[in-house]
DNA sequence: GCCGTTTTCGGCCCGACTGTTTTCAGTCG
């Protein structure tokens, strides 16, 4: 699957074209194409083979031809031509904050600097060529130097779960200075993306109070550096390197500002276009007809005046949500309070930290009516996986503990390894003793799609398998995991009454959002599991729900929301 | 380069902050 690869090529083209000062609308169209291809769940090869590339929004004849040529030849002539016109190292310069295409061009043309390395050397030698670059004063130089040092020490985007803890503290700090005015997260964090590049925070305050709100923000305990601070807007860098932007707006504009700063950028562009067609103007201060404000206090009013139902933040990616809204076809997304079950958690029997009873009590406290305990199977030696005899004893222990709790159905299960060839880690006679089987890959994780997909499908077709755990086995920011053909896997799952897991741990979120959407479209059932190794970790369920929402999943799609009777019927269909 | 309820050409979202200017360009979101 070359989706990511091709998306990166288009991004490179857009960056180079921008540096070369080419038409900005063409640049944007390449950026859009990169986004569309990058977020596609189906392999781009399949669409190309079927001649369906131009059915994608933002992909026209010309872009389709480039994709087809690249798939055929492995290179992209237009990109090579651009690279011949500008040194490739210039692209890296764009990673510096405060340095855009114009400055990159000037560094090259006016000082002969064409890479991060060149720039660093020029700084270190206090090269006089730098003084020749128009628009580069002492402050800008200092900013670029700091940014250069930063990208050398900092990593990539921050995982949603890590950002979540930081965000909670910041909201508390700012809210304490805002006399009850609203303080809420916006940006990709609010949309629930699996990683965030920065954090956005919005506060409601009048002009008088705005100053103290901005001050409370820039003075928050974990702020390392104040990047910018005006009367209504400020940016800081936290100790961990994460950048946070705050905007302060009056109550009348709070809703429009929230919509604006939640994005995504492309969703906003669509909203503005709709506004324009109605002769209106939409910005962060409201929706206006001439000077008259028609909406802005809350998000709902913006959508309403634009003639649309409210669109949930998780859907705002310009991935069909506007069209669905117009057609009245938006899904009723699953919510955390719909969740009444968790089917994947570990105990001290394998590598968990809590006992069966402790996990049961914690699930009861969360209001669940059904749960499954699924410890590791024999092959997971490092995780103290259970050999068959220990598993059978463990099953008896779970059933014994379950008897004491009438208000929750406790299923005895296992997280069984899917071996390299797609077979399972226990014999059928052992699996037959279990109520719930999660089958997961824990080894041979660098498999490409042609091997990985049949491996997983073989497990799906297995008589005793109820669920495929973390299907790609990726770890965000740490391991790419297996390439999987989600369309084929979802089709097999739907046909075999197997649920596909969204592993809710924020390191995994696997299935990822685009996979969930493809799975739901193919009619597969989704199960959201915490994979908790202690009672505390049951709370990661919320990240899984967010991912399910980003995948357009409804309560009906997600078996965790079902009554126990319906869950039992689903499991019984397997055998 | 894409696209169409003003369609095959002519548009394509808009404002805040900074640093360098000498009235504004560049960057960012």
Which nucleotide, over all strands, has the C1' atom closest to the CA of A268?
Answer: B13
Place of tokens 């400055």: A103
Give the burial string for A351-385 (b: 16+ CB within 10 Å, else e): ebebebeebbebbeebebebbbbbbbbbbbeebeb
Q: Is the CB of A133 under 7 A from strand B?
A: no
Q: Is the CB of A22 under 7 A from strand B?
A: no
Task: Give residue limits of the domains in chain A.
Answer: 3-153, 158-249, 263-326, 336-572
Which structure tokens are listed for A515? 């996979």
CA–C1' distance A24–B12 (Å)?
A: 10
Q: Residue A255 in contact with residue A299, Cβ under 8 Å?
A: yes
Which nucleotide, over all strands, has the C1' atom closest to the CA of A138?
Answer: B19
Q: What is the pLDDT of residue A445?
A: 87
Which structure tokens are listed for A230? 């005006």
Class of domain A158-249: alpha beta
Phi, psi dihedrals of residue A320, rounded to the nearest 5° = 105, -5
Which nucleotide, over all strands, has the C1' atom closest to the CA of A28?
Answer: B1
CA–C1' distance A517–B13 (Å)?
A: 29
Q: Strand, helix or coil at A264? A: coil
> Which residue is closest to B25 in terms of CA–C1' distance?
A135
Neighbours of A336 (CB within 10 A): 12
Which residues 60-89 in chain A have a CB closer than 7 A to strand B? 60-64, 78
Which nucleotide, over all strands, has the C1' atom closest to the CA of A260?
Answer: B29
- Bridge partners of A341, per DSSP, are A370
> Which residue is closest to B14 in terms of CA–C1' distance?
A283
Which residues 281-300 in chain A have a CB closer than 7 A to strand B? 281-285
Which nucleotide, over all strands, has the C1' atom closest to the CA of A273?
Answer: B13
Kindly report the bases of strand B lying within 7 A of a protein C-beta atom. Answer: 1-3, 6, 11-21, 25-29
Q: Strand, helix or coil at A282? A: strand
The superfamily (CATH) of domain A3-153 is DNA polymerase beta, N-terminal domain-like (1.10.150.110)
Which nucleotide, over all strands, has the C1' atom closest to the CA of A234?
Answer: B17
Q: What is the pLDDT of residue A154?
A: 60
Q: What is the pLDDT of residue A155?
A: 60
Q: Is the CB of A406 under 7 A from strand B?
A: no
Which structure tokens are listed for A56? 């994608």
**What CATH number belongs to A263-326?**
3.30.210.10
> Which residue is closest to B27 in terms of CA–C1' distance?
A98
User: Cis peptide before A511, with omega less than 30 degrees from 0?
Assistant: yes
Report DSSP state, residue A200. Answer: E
Q: Is the CB of A276 under 7 A from strand B?
A: yes
Q: Is the CB of A96 under 7 A from strand B?
A: yes
Q: What is the DSSP string of A422-443?
A: S-BSS-HHHHTT-SEEEEE--S
CA–C1' distance A257–B20 (Å)?
A: 30
Which nucleotide, over all strands, has the C1' atom closest to the CA of A210?
Answer: B16
Q: Is the CB of A259 under 7 A from strand B?
A: no
Phi, psi dihedrals of residue A249, rounded to the nearest 5° = -135, 155
Question: pLDDT in tens for each of the 575 residues of chain A?
Answer: 788 889 889 989 998 998 888 888 888 889 889 888 887 878 899 889 988 899 888 899 999 999 999 999 999 999 999 999 988 888 888 888 888 888 998 899 888 899 998 999 888 888 888 888 888 888 888 888 888 887 776 666 889 998 998 899 899 999 999 988 999 999 999 999 999 988 999 999 988 889 899 999 999 888 988 988 998 999 998 887 888 999 999 999 999 999 999 999 889 988 988 888 888 889 889 999 888 899 999 999 999 999 999 999 999 998 889 999 988 999 999 999 999 999 999 999 999 999 999 999 999 999 999 999 999 999 988 889 999 999 999 999 999 999 988 899 999 999 999 999 999 999 999 999 999 999 999 998 878 888 899 999 999 999 999 999 999 998 887 777 888 999 999 999 999 999 999 999 999 999 999 999 999 999 999 999 999 999 999 999 999 999 999 999 999 999 999 999 999 999 998 87
Which structure tokens are listed for A374? 């699924």
Q: Is the CB of A147 under 7 A from strand B?
A: no
Does domain A336-572 sit in CATH 3.50.50.60? no
Q: What is the pLDDT of residue A3?
A: 85
Give the sign of the dihedral formed by CA A474, CA A477, CA A480, CA A484.
Answer: positive
Q: Residue A138 in contact with residue A155, Cβ under 8 Å?
A: no
Which nucleotide, over all strands, has the C1' atom closest to the CA of A26?
Answer: B1
């Amino acid at each position: 699957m070359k989706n990511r690869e091709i998306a990166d090529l288009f991004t490179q083209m857009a960056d180079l074209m921008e540096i070369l000062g080419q038409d900005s609308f063409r640049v944007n169209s390449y950026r859009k194409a990169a986004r569309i291809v990058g977020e596609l769940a189906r392999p781009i090869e399949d669409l190309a083979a079927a001649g369906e590339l131009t059915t994608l929004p933002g992909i026209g004849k010309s872009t389709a031809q480039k994709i087809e040529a690249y798939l055929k030849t492995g290179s992209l002539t237009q990109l090579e031509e651009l690279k011949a016109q500008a040194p490739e190292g210039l692209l890296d310069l764009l990673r510096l904050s405060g340095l855009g295409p114009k400055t990159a061009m000037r560094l090259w043309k006016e000082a002969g600097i064409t890479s991060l390395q060149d720039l660093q050397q020029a700084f270190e030698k206090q090269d006089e060529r730098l003084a020749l670059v128009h628009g580069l004063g002492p402050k800008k130089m200092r900013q670029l130097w700091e940014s250069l040092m930063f990208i050398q020490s900092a990593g990539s985007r921050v995982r949603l779960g890590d950002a979540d803890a930081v965000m909670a503290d910041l909201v508390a700090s700012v809210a304490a200075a805002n006399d009850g005015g609203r303080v809420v997260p916006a940006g990709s964090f609010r949309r629930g993306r699996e990683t965030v590049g920065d954090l956005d925070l919005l506060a409601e305050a009048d002009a008088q109070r705005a100053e103290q709100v901005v001050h409370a923000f820039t003075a928050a305990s974990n702020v390392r550096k104040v990047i910018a601070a005006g009367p209504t807007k400020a940016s800081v860098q936290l100790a961990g390197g994460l950048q946070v932007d705050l905007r302060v707006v009056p109550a009348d504009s709070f809703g429009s500002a929230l919509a604006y700063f939640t994005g995504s950028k492309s969703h906003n562009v669509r909203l503005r276009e709709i506004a324009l067609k109605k002769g209106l103007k939409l910005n962060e201060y409201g929706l206006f007809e001439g000077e008259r404000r028609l909406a802005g206090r809350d998000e709902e009013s913006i959508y309403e005046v634009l003639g649309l139902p409210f669109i949930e933040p998780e859907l705002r990616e310009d991935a069909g949500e506007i069209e669905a809204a117009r057609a009245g076809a938006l899904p009723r997304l699953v919510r955390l309070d719909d969740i009444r079950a968790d089917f994947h958690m570990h105990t001290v029997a394998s590598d968990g930290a809590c006992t069966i009873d402790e996990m049961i009590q914690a699930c009861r406290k969360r209001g669940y009516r059904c749960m499954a305990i699924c410890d590791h199977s024999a092959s997971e030696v490092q995780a103290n996986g259970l050999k068959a005899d220990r598993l059978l004893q463990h099953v008896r222990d779970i059933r014994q503990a379950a008897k004491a709790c009438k208000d929750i159905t406790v299923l005895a299960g296992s997280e069984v390894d899917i071996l390299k060839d797609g077979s399972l880690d226990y014999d059928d006679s052992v699996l037959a003793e279990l109520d719930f089987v999660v089958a997961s890959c824990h080894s041979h994780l660098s498999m490409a799609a042609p091997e990985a997909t049949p491996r997983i499908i073989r497990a799906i077709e297995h008589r005793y398998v109820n669920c495929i755990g973390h299907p790609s086995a990726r770890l965000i920011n740490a391991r790419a995991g297996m390439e999987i053909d989600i369309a084929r896997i979802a089709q097999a799952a739907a046909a075999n009454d197997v649920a596909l897991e969204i592993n809710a741990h924020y390191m995994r979120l696997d299935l990822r959002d685009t996979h969930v959407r493809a799975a739901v479209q193919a009619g597969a059932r989704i199960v959201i599991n915490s994979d908790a190794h202690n009672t505390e970790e049951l709370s990661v369920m919320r990240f899984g729900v967010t991912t399910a929402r980003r995948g357009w999943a409804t309560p009906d799609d997600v078996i965790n929301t079902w009554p126990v009777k319906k869950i039992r019927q689903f499991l019984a269909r397997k055998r």
